[in-house]
Structure 1
Amino acid sequence: MFHTKGTVKTAHAAKYLQQLCKHFAHKVEVSYSMTEADVAFPMGPCKMRATDDELQFHASALKAEGIERIKGIIINHLDRFAWRETISYDWQDFNDAD
């Protein structure tokens, strides 16, 4: 199993989490609250968490390509939603063999 943990520093983490979830819910199963979410991407699940200054992601997939696809989807959408600020992503990829 392959995994990634990602973080984005932003004062608008809860707002972006909700925007992402509302958008993703048009295509995949999503459950979320103001600060936590579970998204069932076809390639694997992704948990999201919003703190006061950070948006966190933890995703899993059977293949490394699935992790790259999940990261791409998140980056593509979050960049559009957060166009008023410069977003910097910090990703840490690992697998069960590590």
Structure 2
Amino acid sequence: MKASTFFATAHAERYLGTLCKHFGHKVPVTHESGSGRIELPFGQCDLRADDAGLGLTALASDRPTLDKIIQIISSHLDRFAFRENPELTWIITEGAEA
């Protein structure tokens, strides 16, 4: 299953780096300029930063696991971007019938 969201911010690259650095202490992470991947034991989240904001895509094998990834990533972004109060709307883009 797959779900995506977009956070419009001028600080996308900074938040991408902060998320990758934070999770990199616990799980495998790849981080390059403008993109990153956080590999949780039960799924992953791909991140893309550009001038418009930060795009996040969560991937998991089933809906409860996808919801768990969404909750974890959203709560961390809320903490790191608290000054901007991100309001994320995740949209299931694959596997919605499951």
TM-score (norm 1): 0.90
Is 2:71 the partner of 1:68?
no
Taking the TM superposition and a 5 Å limit, the aligned residue runs for 1:1-98 are 2-93=1-92, 94-95=94-95, 97=97
**What amino acid does structure 1 have at the position aligned with 2:50?**
T
Please, which runs of 5 or more residues in structure 1 have no aligned partner?
none
Kindly report the root-mean-square deviation, in angstroms, between the aligned alpha carbons of the 2 structures: 1.5
Query: Per-residue deviation at 1:90?
Result: 2.3
Query: Per-residue deviation at 1:23?
Result: 0.2
Percent identity, aligned pairs only?
37
> Structure 1: how far apart are the matches of 2:89 and 2:50?
16
**Greater strand fraction, Structure 1 or Structure 2:** 1
